[in-house]
């Protein structure tokens, strides 16, 4: 995410904070070595939250590792405990920042962050089902053999196992699939599109299993 923001010119000033000092330094150096492809980027890293002072946006990805077979909801208490140590100092040094939460379970932890921060609700945002929707569009493209950018569709609700695909809104280059297949996404669907949403849910666990 940081690399994308730097290369796309979203920002040229990034401060990384983590408790794992060696890993943190490695991440910083890795990004710094790519500075030639960025716009005069300033990349810093520290265990001390003061390095983040005056941030406009704080992106929170911290959390315990999700174990194989463990659902996102299983992480609630452990990651709530993690956020209790992270959010107060971030707010202290960047009281005017917008907080973007990506830690799992993201919907619950976005609420937890809002309560811990004391910030107005419009300044605490979760990544929600953005990743689910991106996976959905990719899998649509794989099934149909067309470019992902031509596939449009959204997953709504809670990020993860209980997410909901909006089949009525799925379109390929402007053509709604529900016009071609009125039973899309139902048990009576002859094309078994329901399996595509199942693959969206399962893919996260597959990634965790493969990447460790």
Give catalytic residues, as residue numbers.
159
Report the C-alpha gap between 78 and 58 in whole angstroms. 21
Range 118-125 contact pairs with CB under 8 angstroms and sequence separation of 24 or more: 118/91, 119/91, 123/97, 123/98, 123/99, 124/98, 124/99, 125/98, 125/99, 125/100, 125/101
Counting every residue written for the chain, the total comes to 212
C-beta separation of 101 from 113 below 8 A: yes
Q: What is the DSSP letter of 121?
A: G
Report the C-alpha gap between 74 and 187 in whole angstroms. 29
Burial of 73 (0-12, 13-18, 19+ CB in 10 A): middle
3-state secondary structure of 137: helix
- Sequence-distant (≥ 6) Cβ neighbours of residue 120 within 8 angstroms: none
C-beta separation of 58 from 99 below 8 A: yes
């Amino acid at each position: 995410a940081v690399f994308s923001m730097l290369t796309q010119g979203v920002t040229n000033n990034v401060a990384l904070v983590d408790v794992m000092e060696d890993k943190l330094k490695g991440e910083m150096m890795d990004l710094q070595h790519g500075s030639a492809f960025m716009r005069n980027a300033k990349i810093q890293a520290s265990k001390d939250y003061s390095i983040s002072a005056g941030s406009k946006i704080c992106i929170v990805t911290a959390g315990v590792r999700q174990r194989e077979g463990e659902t996102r909801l299983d992480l609630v208490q452990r990651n709530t405990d993690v956020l209790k140590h992270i959010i107060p100092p971030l707010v202290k040094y960047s009281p005017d920042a917008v907080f973007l939460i990506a830690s799992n379970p993201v919907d619950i932890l976005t609420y937890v962050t809002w309560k811990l921060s004391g910030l107005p609700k419009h300044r605490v945002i979760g990544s929600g089902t953005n990743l689910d929707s991106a996976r959905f569009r990719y899998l649509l493209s794989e099934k149909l053999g067309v470019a992902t950018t031509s596939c449009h569709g959204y997953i709504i609700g809670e990020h993860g196992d209980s997410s909901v695909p909006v089949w009525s809104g799925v379109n390929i280059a402007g053509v709604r699939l529900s016009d071609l297949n009125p039973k899309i996404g139902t048990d009576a669907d002859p094309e078994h599109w329901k399996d595509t949403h199942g693959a969206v849910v399962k893919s996260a666990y597959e990634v965790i299993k493969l990447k460790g």
